[in-house]
A = this chain, B = another copy of it.
Amino acid sequence: MYKAVILDLDGTVYVGTQLTPGAKEGIEELRRLGFKIMFLTNNSMVSRRMIIRKLDEMGIEAKVDEVLNSGAATAIYLKNRMRNVKVFVVGEIGLVEELLIHGHEIVSDYRQAEAVVVGGDRYLTYNKLLDAHRAIIKGALFVATNRDHALMEEDGPVPGAGAVVAYLETSTGVKPIVIGKPERYIADLALQLLNVTPDEAVMVGDNIATDLELAKKAGMRGILIRTGLGKNKAPESITSVNNLLELPRILLNKQ
């Protein structure tokens, strides 16, 4: 019997600043039926607080422990592995916020860095890359929030965190630890925070390569939503829904 629903955000709950059809009502129905909800996103540019505010502006209430993004997951990973860490960040302010909240120290001198954390960064410069490169060569732990190649924006795709990761991986020859989807760490962490087993949870997302791959790796049921990237492709072997309003019925049928 399913107890929790893990929902991808971008392309699943909203596309840009617009909710997907039935998202608000679907989520409210899931809550009424007693499902625990977790919003799971690779976006590391924003903090959980920024995500909650965005959801709130679109009429969806969420608590901080209902949101897990790759930035927060990275901060938790570092805490579990090394306690409080001196971090050199290639990323945006939302990532810095999560690292600080979880007790890490942000350093601007690469020689002090115990870890280099990489996320999407629209303020990327050569000097930031050079210092990250030098810190990694000196032995700092190289951690990637995620390897997404690109993000969809209204004007088309823009480079994702994975592009920055590829730059540093190429220049240093060091392979990073990757936290976000489709790596298993973030799914296991979500299940742990939800306090459910893999067969008590479903993962719903629009991206076969990240969301459904993650579900498979973590032993969860994966459901494709035909919004965002999921619009065009839905192999018959995959359960799919047209929108979040259809989700409760599918989950109840399967119980």
Segment touching B, from A54-62, A121-129, A197-205, A206-214 = A121-129
- CB contacts (< 8 Å) of A3 on chain B: these are none
Chain B residues within 8 Å of A169, by CB? 166
Which of A145-174 touch B at CB < 8 Å?
A: 149-150, 156-160, 162-173
A171 touches B149 (CB 8 A): yes
Question: A132-151: which have CB < 8 Å to B?
Answer: 133-134, 137, 149-150
Query: How many A residues have CB within 8 A of the partner chain?
Result: 30
Query: A124-B125, A126-B124 are known contacts. Are A171 and B156 too (CB-CB below 8 A)?
Result: no
- Tell me the smallest distance from the CB of A71 to a CB of chain B, in Å: 18
A238 interface contact, C-beta 8 A: no
Check A150/B134 contact, CB under 8 A, given A123-B126, A129-B159: no
A134→B156 contact, CB < 8 A = yes
Residues of A90-139 at the interface with B, using a CB-CB cut-off of 8 Å, are 121-126, 129-130, 133-134, 137
Residues of chain B contacted by A134 (CB below 8 angstroms): 156
- Assuming A125-B124, A125-B125, is B157 touching A167 (CB within 8 A)? no
Q: Smallest CB–CB gap between A171 and chain B, Å?
A: 4
Say which residue of B130, B163, B168 sits within 8 Å of A171 (CB atoms): B163
Known: A122-B130, A124-B124, A159-B167. 17 other contacts (CB 8 A): A124-B125, A124-B126, A129-B163, A130-B159, A133-B159, A133-B163, A149-B171, A149-B173, A150-B172, A157-B171, A158-B171, A159-B168, A159-B171, A160-B171, A163-B168, A165-B170, A166-B166
